[in-house]
Structure 1
Amino acid sequence: MGLAPYACHPDSSRGRRFKEPEAPTRTAFQRDRDRIIHCTAFRRLVYKTQVFLNHEGDLFRTRLTHSLEVAQLGRSIARSLGLNEDLVEAVALAHDLGHTPFGHAGQDALNACMKNQPSLQNAPHASEQAGFEHNLQSLRVVDALEERYPDFDGLNLTFETREGILKHCSPANAKRLCAQDASGVAVRFLTGGSPSLEAQLCNLADEIAYNAHDIDDGVRSGLLSMEQLEAVPLFARYHRLVLEKHPRLDGRRLLFEVIRRMLSDQVYDVIDTSRTSIETSKVGSVDDVRAHGTLVSFSAAMRDQSMELKQFLLRNLYRHPQVMETTERARCVVTELFAFYLDQPHEPPMSHQPDAHRARAVADYIAGMTDRFAIREHERLSGKVLFP
């Protein structure tokens, strides 16, 4: 299937921040994808976790496996809508590059540490933003922190890939980015409008993927039961349909088949709903898409059921006492590492940005850590063993 007129065409890309000759055998978006896969931050994702930490089991999702699942779902939907699969894959593989160790617990701890820095609290438009947000950090990784090329910092990705990576952005941070970056990758957060359909699709594929795999990981861990999940309408519907066809199925096979059907129907729902929205909107170009509201979405019924599932996971998995106890230890590791590095100018080795604001350089260094490296560093510097 060829690209639709409202898809992002690589020949019409808004380009890179630093001009480079085109690759002879790859499109601009294929080149972005390849740069992401080969970068250091991407490799680190294998030891950065979602809900369960590295030491809790080898079969739980990591940021890497999650990113691959998002890319697979995204490409499947993109193909049906005539969107650019290579761009979807590039955005999907890069969207979590800025995530801290220990998932959202690490991000929350690092955000609190940065917000408590007096030099940043009253300067939201300065070159250093207050706080820490993993989505903004992902853009920072590909724009500045990767060190692979002789002529520029970062990966020098196309505008379209960077636009997709920047999923959220506060007005203050958007103003700061626009002042530093003439390409305007953050301008939509100040003027309204939407990103490309490929970027919208990645946002939704991310949600579909983590809802499904958190069910799987939750049951595998023993923190969720099938009986609990049967109280969730979205799960219960497919659970009933599977048992009607396979009445003797149980255990892992039953769970996998329920999740498979749930994933498939969510994908078909997004395709059908989005195709109708695109046709009704009469958008004929990427510029039309950016001037329009969101066009890639669930149907209203599927959106409601997806929200119910998210709320169930929040109550029963993410806030489970065992998860919360681990979360508190993870927060302690990040908070104490930040304080130590800030007070010790010889620690850590941060040669990648020697002139940067000290607090931001420390935040960059910690955000780049894997779970196990952060744990080892904390043990080395504090003498405490929080994760035996």
Structure 2
Amino acid sequence: MHWEQLLSLRRQGDRHKRLRKEQDPTRLGFEVDYDRIIFSPYFRSLQDKTQVIPLSKTDFVHTRLTHSLEVSVVGRSLGRLAGSRLLEKHPHLAEVHGYQANDFGAIVAAAALAHDIGNPPFGHSGEKAIGNFFTRGPGQQYREALTEKQYEDLVRFEGNAYGLRLLTASRTGVPGGLRLSYATLGAFMKYPKESLPWKKGGPIAAKKFGVFQTEVETFRQIAMELGLLSTGAADPGGYCRHPLTYLVEAADDICYTIIDFEDGINLGLVPEDYALEYLIKLVQDSINTEKYRGIASMPDRIGYLRAIAINTLVQDAVRVFMEEEEALLRGELPVALLEKSRYRAQVEDIINLSVERIYRAPEVVEKEVAGYRILSDILEVTTAALVAKHEGRASSYDNLILQMLPIEGRQPEAGSVYEALLQACGFVASLSDRAAVHIHNKISGKHLHDQNL
């Protein structure tokens, strides 16, 4: 792979190449990507989606929106630092093509901003709930109407693939979705492959999948424009990651490792003395002990350690990125950057404690269990209504469901059972946690009971 191609400013529908040296310096294409994402309704919906603690009543806890903004900030730093070193190593990128270090930061920041845009409500359990509906729930009835790949898309419903759909799918009067640059879309594609073939193990880029059958052609166009390497016989139709994807992933890994941990501390799920012990191990080479001892409040002490920890991991991730740059361009790095960090042991200790004390906390588990039931019930009525509509046999109840749920107009009319089912899954995935609860109350009649009707 070559940086000149990987940094493509081209957008869906462009007939001509966009050159970096011809860009308006006050409105760069990569910065436009960021603006389009942040003003999109898909991004706004993240404000009430779970990061760790579903439906939390405290201001301490991060939502998907605040998490995405923080990942974007960290991603921008990673991109700029790596970009500065890349331009020193490859001066022709600046001298001939006009690229600057901030371009790398803008690409990574935009891709990081969108990295959770396709995630369903109730955290990662939301994805599992959708898959469970088709493997063990009422969704099993549609199996015979689907191809193997289509069924796999649904039983392993993936927020990354739905994110690509949101960013690129045409809507009536809006061709090409948000029309982001191919560079940003490439950096966004964490798992550049279809749902099949799939097997446990292998490189990190094949851990999940990143494209539904409806977006395969768009996916291939992006890969070809960027010059992504094919994975060949090992995974027909799959591609190696865009190198900047590793920086997007590192930004996410750094934020959820450190900031989810901070949330757990502020919520009292992790005792402060535990937290200090784990964080100080990570920052012991750069902490100003005198300054730290002078901080009075616990949240401020934790905030100080968090800032140093993030900076420490950012600097080390850039070191690994540059050491592995040639392997990245050959598509030969099978692990995340933090896997090769000199702080890997400290990061793993923090993650293990977070799993034990935060992710498995009763409050989290109980609400995830409720999320399974809520999403399954909504899927049951929406899939039935949309498939019936597609087949021309919608009942009065189906039509009422379709009127109640704002689906029509969001996506094109379904041309197959698969598209109808994917439309229903997309609707559910687009809901915030509270919107899902509200709609579930409606279809179960609970809101009428609460009004004493």
Residue 329 (str. 1) matches residue 370 (str. 2):
yes
Indicate the residue corresponding to 2:158 in structure 1: 133
The 5 A counterparts of 1:143-182 are 143-144=168-169, 147=171, 150-168=173-191, 169=193, 170-172=195-197, 176=213, 178=216, 181-182=219-220
Is the CA contact 1:277–1:295 (under 8 Å) kept in the aligned structure 2?
no
Secondary structure in structure 2 of the residue aligned to 1:19: coil
What is the distance in 2 between the residues matched to 1:322 and 1:27? 44
Is the CA contact 2:378–2:440 (under 8 Å) kept in the aligned structure 1?
yes
The worse-fitting range, judged by mean Cα deviation, of 159-168 and 178-187 is 178-187
Q: Which residue identity does 1:113 align to in structure 2? A: F
Of 220, 235, 248, the match for 1:202: 248
What is the distance in 2 between the residues matched to 1:20 and 1:221? 53
Spell out, residue by residue over 1:276-304, the C-alpha distance to the aligned partner (whole angstroms, 9 max, x if none): 333xx3x7xxxx71544369724443123
Secondary structure in structure 2 of the residue aligned to 1:327: helix
Q: Which ranges of structure 2 fall in alignment gaps of 5 or more residues?
A: 84-100, 198-208, 386-397
Q: Measured at CA, do residues 305 and 124 of structure 1 come closer, stay the same or move farther in structure 2, by a change above 3 Å?
A: farther
Q: Measured at CA, do residues 204 and 7 of structure 1 come closer, stay the same or move farther in structure 2, by a change above 3 Å?
A: farther
Residue 16 (str. 1) matches residue 40 (str. 2):
no
Residue 289 (str. 1) matches residue 329 (str. 2):
yes
Is the CA contact 2:116–2:159 (under 8 Å) kept in the aligned structure 1?
yes
Q: Measured at CA, do residues 119 and 52 of structure 1 come closer, stay the same or move farther in structure 2, by a change above 3 Å?
A: same
Residue 355 (str. 1) matches residue 414 (str. 2):
yes
Q: From the CA coordinates, give the structure whose radius of gyration is larger.
A: 2
Spell out, residue by residue over 1:71-90, the C-alpha distance to the aligned partner (whole angstroms, 9 max, x if none): 11111122122151111111
Secondary structure in structure 1 of the residue aligned to 2:407: coil
Q: Measured at CA, do residues 310 and 276 of structure 1 come closer, stay the same or move farther in structure 2, by a change above 3 Å?
A: same
Indicate the residue corresponding to 2:94 in structure 1: none
Indicate the residue corresponding to 2:430 in structure 1: 368
Q: Which residue identity does 2:190 align to in structure 1? A: K
* Normalised TM-score (structure 2): 0.72
Q: Measured at CA, do residues 50 and 126 of structure 1 come closer, stay the same or move farther in structure 2, by a change above 3 Å?
A: closer
TM superposition shift of 1:308: 2.5
Indicate the residue corresponding to 1:45 in structure 2: 46
Is the CA contact 1:41–1:368 (under 8 Å) kept in the aligned structure 2?
yes
The worse-fitting range, judged by mean Cα deviation, of 161-170 and 64-73 is 161-170
Is the CA contact 2:45–2:431 (under 8 Å) kept in the aligned structure 1?
yes
TM superposition shift of 1:201: 0.2
Residue 251 (str. 1) matches residue 298 (str. 2):
yes
Aligned residues between the structures: 370
Indicate the residue corresponding to 2:390 in structure 1: none
What is the distance in 2 between the residues matched to 1:52 and 1:273? 32
The 5 A counterparts of 1:31-110 are 31-82=32-83, 84-110=104-130
Spell out, residue by residue over 1:101-143, the C-alpha distance to the aligned partner (whole angstroms, 9 max, x if none): 1211222111212444343476233498232111111101112
Secondary structure in structure 2 of the residue aligned to 1:129: helix
Is the CA contact 1:96–1:138 (under 8 Å) kept in the aligned structure 2?
yes
Q: Which residue identity does 2:426 align to in structure 1? A: D
Indicate the RMSD between aligned Cα atoms, in angstroms. 3.2
TM superposition shift of 1:206: 0.4
Of 137, 147, 150, the match for 1:123: 147
What is the distance in 2 between the residues matched to 1:20 and 1:209? 38
What is the distance in 1 between the residues matched to 2:30 and 2:121? 28
Q: Measured at CA, do residues 45 and 151 of structure 1 come closer, stay the same or move farther in structure 2, by a change above 3 Å?
A: closer
Spell out, residue by residue over 1:196-217, the C-alpha distance to the aligned partner (whole angstroms, 9 max, x if none): 3322100111010111111121
What is the distance in 2 between the residues matched to 1:110 and 1:127? 12
Secondary structure in structure 2 of the residue aligned to 1:183: helix
What is the distance in 2 between the residues matched to 1:104 and 1:297? 22
The worse-fitting range, judged by mean Cα deviation, of 15-24 and 160-169 is 15-24
Secondary structure in structure 2 of the residue aligned to 1:49: coil
What is the distance in 1 between the residues matched to 2:120 and 2:212? 24
Spell out, residue by residue over 1:52-104, the C-alpha distance to the aligned partner (whole angstroms, 9 max, x if none): 23442233111111111111111112212215111111101111110111211
* Normalised TM-score (structure 1): 0.83
Q: Which residue identity does 2:167 align to in structure 1? A: V
TM superposition shift of 1:231: 5.9
Spell out, residue by residue over 1:302-353, the C-alpha distance to the aligned partner (whole angstroms, 9 max, x if none): 1232222222211221011221112111222111111122334322342223
Of 277, 300, 314, the match for 2:324: 277
What is the distance in 1 between the residues matched to 2:217 and 2:437? 37
Q: Which residue identity does 1:76 align to in structure 2? A: S
The worse-fitting range, judged by mean Cα deviation, of 202-211 and 300-309 is 300-309
Q: Which residue identity does 2:117 align to in structure 1? A: L
Is the CA contact 1:74–1:201 (under 8 Å) kept in the aligned structure 2?
yes
Aligned sequence identity (%) = 25
Spell out, residue by residue over 1:133-162, the C-alpha distance to the aligned partner (whole angstroms, 9 max, x if none): 1111110111227x4x72515222232222
Is the CA contact 1:238–1:262 (under 8 Å) kept in the aligned structure 2?
yes
Is the CA contact 2:374–2:437 (under 8 Å) kept in the aligned structure 1?
yes
The worse-fitting range, judged by mean Cα deviation, of 107-116 and 85-94 is 107-116
What is the distance in 2 between the residues matched to 1:224 and 1:244? 25
